[in-house]
Structure 1
């Protein structure tokens, strides 16, 4: 997971930098009800796949009670991603 994945998921769910697990689950239920193929009106199977993928990203992030979605918090919780961001353009690390 990258910070971009996290931000994309938050935007899809319409959440800000802070949210509770309860808010995430409620928003997921609402989006699934809206786009589910059985509902008819706004049914969109591709959107359901996107919603479920975003939900999984958010659950993976908060499963250890990390409810701050700020970039600084993300890099604090995922130090390997911070290192990758620092050296991704270095040819020695595979960047170009």
Structure 2
């Protein structure tokens, strides 16, 4: 897999640079349902379903080998409300005071 493959997979699924596993799975389900022949209406788009499934496979393979960061900096990046709580918890107005 190349970085270009990863970017193409994100483009096909309509995802941005950051997406949770839950968001990836939900988007995959949504697109397969939308383009499935049994969905009614347009009769489906088998080519698009193949592209969506291939994109999902690329992302799943990437995630299977991804090394997660459990650093404090990454924790606060993912949980900004905790960063604020930590920053102001000792302030008289907001915290213990």
Q: TM-score range by the shorter chain?
A: 0.5 to 0.7
> Counterpart in 2 of 1:85?
none
Q: Which has the larger radius of gyration?
A: 2
1:49, distance to aligned residue in structure 2 (A)? 0.5
SS in 2 for 1:63: helix
CA deviation vs aligned residue, 1:42-83 (integer Å, no higher than 9, x gap):
41000000000000000001124458xxxxxxxxxxxxxxxx
Tell me the matched-pair count: 67
SS in 1 for 2:16: coil
CA–CA separation in structure 2 for the residues paired with 1:38 and 1:58: 26
TM-score (norm 2): 0.63
Q: Where do 5+ consecutive residues of structure 2 fail to align?
A: 69-97
> Counterpart in 2 of 1:73?
none
Q: How does 1:52-63 map to 2 (within 5 A)?
A: 52-63=53-64
Aligned-pair Cα RMSD in Å: 1.6
Which segments of structure 1 move beyond 3 Å, counting only runs of 4 or more? 64-67
CA–CA separation in structure 1 for the residues paired with 2:24 and 2:67: 13
Structure 1 61/38 Cα, relative in aligned 2: closer, same or farther at 3 Å? Answer: same
The reply on whether 1:27 has 2:27 as its aligned counterpart is yes
